[in-house]
Structure 1
Amino acid sequence: MKLSCLIVDDEPLARAGIRHLLSQQQQFEIAAEADNGTDALRLAELHQPDIIFLDIQMPGLDGLNVFKQLANKPAVIFCSAYAEHAVTAFDLSAVDYLLKPFSAERFQQALFKACGKIIDKLSRSNEQAGQDSGYIERITIRDPGRLRIVEVNDISWIESAGNYVDIHVYSQQKSYLLRDTMAAIESKLDPAIFARIHRSSIVRKSDIIELRPGDKGDAEVVLKCGTLLTMSRRHRAALAELFGQIA
């Protein structure tokens, strides 16, 4: 998942500088640019960016008033040559305040803060969705300088990996590490769709194509992708509705 950005500054060179810094970050994309506050509001409504880089002193509507009038508050990073507006900006819940000229390192720090705010917002949204439906629809995974959104519908199976769980996404033939426990992730998934078949494995039931019972009440579970998992005797009831009572 790439995060979309809106760059707002009346100075072409300032916009070009931010554009250049963002071009070095694969996880970000520029949705639009504006050189005045009025266009900034219009483009923010049109593109719904995740992050806005916002100058303060511009012709017509200034950056502070743009922020106040944003219908949906994204992560806003103010970029200004004037330090005296910083307190007001933070009072408005700005993510950061970059004082021009700023270094690439300082810019990176601001991006990290923006990612943190976006992750927190998505996490709250996911928690609310889980409370409404009982189960989550997507998982937010933190990576250094970025975040990944994994749709639950794309998950084939999950395995324990120390202090993490390894989420295998069949549509992309990839896996992603999430710092969580198997018990916690199991509680967030719909048991009608996923089954805990081992203390270290959770599987999407519809991905199972074969079951090979063992002689100790356990079994081997074969997935569509060819992955072979072990079902323990303790968890055999999880697949009873698919295969009947397993001897």
Structure 2
Amino acid sequence: MTARPTALIADDEPLLREHLQSHLARLWPELDVIGHARNGREAVEMFERDQPQIVFLDVHMPGMSGIDAARAIARRAITVFVTAYEQYAVQAFDQGAIDYLVKPFESARLADTVERLKQRLAEAQAGGTPVAEPDGDTADRIEAVLDRLSTQLRHQASGKPWLQWIKASVGNAVRLIPVDQVAYLRSDEKYTLVVWEGGEALIRKPIRELVDELDPEVFAQVHRSVIVNLRHVAQVVRGANETADVQLKGRSETLPVSRSYLHLFRQM
């Protein structure tokens, strides 16, 4: 006899946990929901104890977020994120091969998710593994999406607006560069080169800090050392070994896109 599939629901809102379970019971009667967690830390503890095959994780929970919990659980379960951040999250999850539900979720969308979960479990069972392990390319894309969503959550929690100006030294003067005029930023050891419509300048600020301050709807990190303004992209030319080059509007230089970030342009 085949064992019944198991799942864990993690959300800090009790009514949403119960709402999700009741819909799952109707759409997938064979699924056993083995427990409810109120936050990310509790979700990880319950996962370690009960080892469910599927985990429904609210993205934004107090303390340990759903993103942090997903990293702790890693690839030992199939993760479905539940999120209220539709505008950003839908695009990110669609491109990153991660399933999601937007609160308040629709029954039809949940039904689609259930069918995908059944398929993943069937593939895992056929391969003799606990869950369907993503291939290397998918795993890289998932990690990149988690990084971007973590940035979004941190920024929203801080209450700060997205960066509007970059202060840079140009000759003997200090220049305030409007962010919307920036074509790209490229790191060079301790410095970052800012290239905008009016010229170039070096600033003493690393890429990893800038990416947290720039609106992810406009700016995308495409390489560990490159951030590009998507509004300045003319085309993306694919290369060998899952890499690509970005060509910019009105500029001759090209920018590298590494394998981990190629998913950003799959639907362009």
Structure-1-length-normalised TM-score = 0.47
Q: Which protein has the larger Cα radius of gyration, Structure 1 or Structure 2?
A: 1
Relative contact order higher in (CA < 8 Å, ≥ 6 apart): 2
TM-score (norm 2): 0.43
